[in-house]
Amino acid sequence: MTWFNTFVNDFTALGATGEPEPRAEGVEVNDSAIPEWQSTLDVGWTRGSFNANVTVRHIDSVMESCSDFLDGTPNSFTALGLCSHPNPQDESLSLNELDATTYVDLRFGWRDAFGAEGLTLAVGLNNALDEDPPICLSCSLNGYDPSTYDLPGRFWYLQAGYRF
């Protein structure tokens, strides 16, 4: 069993001319987030030449600006009710929360498969519970942040290796 945790309590980025950039912990900006907390727990089991692993990956919630640059119009995200933390008085201050997300991955392996020493076979399923990434209103690619979250849907794979 292994358990890795990352806590970010302070983050400052400077632009090329030395001015602070809007990136910060717990904030989604420019299709990239810095969650304050991320955790990965991996639990494995082995019996003879068979093994299994369950990996649980957790990404903390982040906030994004909920301004669509159409503020004051009937098409604004705030007016449409899409912001989780709206500010009707000043729509440029409206925020949207991208909920925390947890993925579960499964892997089953067979060492020295079919009696062939050094041959390993495995089958795996990433995102076994089919958790969708949170909807990101400020992201430019398909409404989610692919640098922080997995692609939508489950992902099956087969793996073969030979060590000699």
10-69: per-residue pLDDT in tens?
888 888 888 888 888 999 988 889 999 999 999 999 999 999 999 999 999 999 988 766
- Residue 35 domain-assigned? yes
DSSP secondary structure letter of residue 85: B
- Residue 88 domain-assigned? no
- Residue 110 domain-assigned? yes
Query: Smallest Cα–Cα separation from 138: which of 88, 87, 97, 79?
Result: 97
The position carrying tokens 């004051």 is 72
- Residue 94 domain-assigned? no
- Residue 93 domain-assigned? no
Report residue 107 as tokens: 């892997």
What pLDDT does 75 receive? 64
- Residue 85 domain-assigned? no
Q: What does pTM read for this prediction?
A: 0.86
- Residue 70 domain-assigned? no
| CA distance readout (Å), 105 to 54, 56, 108 | 6, 6, 10
Which residues are CB-contacts of 16 (< 8 A; sequence separation ≥ 6)?
A: none
**Total structural domains within the chain:** 1
> Can you say whether the dihedral through the CA atoms of 53, 157, 59, 81 is positive or negative?
negative
Q: What share of the chain is helix, strand, coil (3-state, %, to 5)?
A: 5, 45, 55
- Residue 68 domain-assigned? no
- Which tens digits make up the pLDDT trace of 52-101? 999 999 999 999 988 766 555 656 788 788 889 988 888 778 899 999 99
The position carrying tokens 């950039």 is 21
Range(s) of the domain holding residue 144: 2-61+99-162
What pLDDT does 161 receive? 97
Strand partners, 7: 37
What pLDDT does 71 receive? 52
